[in-house]
Amino acid sequence: MSTASRRVVITGAGLISPLGNSRQVLWEALQAGRSGVGPIRCLPSAALPFRCAAEAWDFQGKIDDFGDLSGEQKRTIRKGLKVMCREIQMGVASAQLALQDAHLRSGDYDVDRTGAVYGSDYIMTDPQEFTEGVRRCLDGDGHFDFSRWATEGLSQVTPLWLLKYLPNMPASHIAIYNDMRGPNNSITLREASSNLAVAEAYCTIQRGHADTMLAGATGTRLHPLRTVHTALQEEIAQGEDEPERLCRPFDRDRHGMVLGEGAAAIVMEALETARARGAAILGEVIGYGSSASMTPQGVANSRQSLQNVIVQALRKAGLKPSDVGHIHAHGLATRKDDIDEAAAIMAIFGDNGHKIPVTAAKSYFGNLGAAGGMVELIASLLALQDGSLFPIRNYETPDPACPIAAAQGTSTPAGTCFLNLSVTPHGQASAVLIRAA
């Protein structure tokens, strides 16, 4: 078949987030201005320099969190939960919810032409996995004796422990549980992963290697080790009196990101495949971009990489900057990152940069790691359907160094297409352009 002009549409969305676990609940929260940030419950926070985060409060890792499953799927997934850490559980759950939202069940699609691509952070092991093994190797003075590990310590580690943390396991589990025998891939590029998963799924369908792809991402910044790493290396908002006011993207008084967790997925189909089965079309993917940029000294050049991906996405879609209805910014709420992102937007959009509304859902739920871009994409997709954009929460005092047109109130038009931006601390940026159905 000729695939040069093959169009790719979105027909379903599922998520696990601090604002709820369905697109309907997510949209209600955004419209109501409800924050998902609260006191940390999943970690001992006494030794941390902050006390608040955005946990996926409603996700318990129980079979009911995976939606309406067939009897066989329930049995299989319930059995598999013991070899999934929380990140992988959230990823699989969001995928199942997306398939259900798209009204796709096993038998409804060509299994050989249906696949999955999933993004994630590098997934870290919980220290508890090794606690008993380490204890067995302590000498009389409480010092660890490595020479005893192979004979006394390793036997205390669950034999399948590694399967709980491999970043390719979300896509693997999803393919197995849903009999998807088509292309399967995993992407581990931190916050850039969501948009890049969408781009990979888009290209896979465009080049004719699949008709249907499930694209998703799962991530967390809440972990006994990862949280400490982040606290040592990045700027995190501190304070506990008003958790919902901590994350302030592009505001003059911003003082760091809020850490969170979540997962999200979308079902992507060739337009002719979606039409053939009478699927409801939520939007169409029309462009993407990927770029990494660093200085000769090895410092991330986020401004340049963001400019690159905006240009690439517009060129791929055949659009002018003035055609974009709104921009969903990465909006990390750190002092430097917001300035760099605003500069990249203004460099490409010029005078239109003062007119095209910019939103940032991180103001509601913080940095979800690899999953953030996908939850944000779904939020903007819902805004296109509603016609109105949700505002940046806590945006009260404009920062002259960030001269963007920040969305305020719920009456700002969402337009007919949006640009979704993400960038990592290492300068890897990604973008996706989506237009309304």
Domain boundaries, the chain: 8-124+165-436, 127-156
Contact (CB, 8 A) for 37 and 243:
yes
Note the pLDDT of residue 48. 87
CB-based contact 267:12 (threshold 8 Å): yes
Which pLDDT score is estimated for 2? 44
Radius of gyration of the chain (CA): 21
Give one word for 218, left, alpha or beta, with left for phi > 0 and alpha for psi -120 to 50: beta
What distance in Å separates the CA atoms of residue 219 and residue 366, rounded to the nearest whole number?
Answer: 12
pLDDT in tens, 228-261: 888 889 999 998 889 999 999 999 999 999 999 9
| Tokens encoding 85 | 């850490």
pLDDT at 46: 84
Of the candidates 302, 304, 266, the residue with the CA atom closest to the CA atom of residue 285: 266
What's the pLDDT score for residue 110?
A: 96
In this structure, what are the phi and psi dihedrals at residue 51, rounded to the nearest 5 degrees?
Answer: -125, -5
pLDDT of the chain along its 437 residues, tens only?
344 579 999 999 999 999 999 999 999 999 999 999 999 999 888 888 899 999 999 999 999 999 999 999 999 999 999 999 999 999 999 999 999 999 999 888 999 999 999 999 989 999 999 999 999 999 999 999 999 999 999 999 998 999 999 999 999 999 999 999 999 999 999 999 999 999 999 999 999 999 999 999 999 999 988 898 888 899 999 988 899 999 999 999 999 999 999 999 999 999 999 999 999 999 999 999 999 999 888 899 999 999 999 999 999 999 999 999 999 999 999 999 999 999 999 999 998 888 999 999 999 999 999 999 999 999 999 999 999 999 999 999 999 999 999 999 889 999 999 999 999 999 999 999 999 98
Q: pLDDT at position 1, please?
A: 38
Q: Pick from 230, 202, 255: which is nearest to 6 by CA?
A: 202
- Strands 8-16 and 261-270 turn out to be antiparallel
290 vs 312: CA distance, rounded Å? 8
User: What's the pLDDT at 4?
Assistant: 58
Task: Tell me, rounded to whole angstroms, the distance of Cα 285 from its chain centroid.
Answer: 17
Q: What is the pLDDT of residue 240?
A: 80
Which H or E run contains 262?
Answer: strand 261-270
Instruction: Out of 3.40.47.10, 3.90.75.20, 3.30.1540.10, 3.40.50.2300, select the CATH number for domain 8-124+165-436.
Output: 3.40.47.10
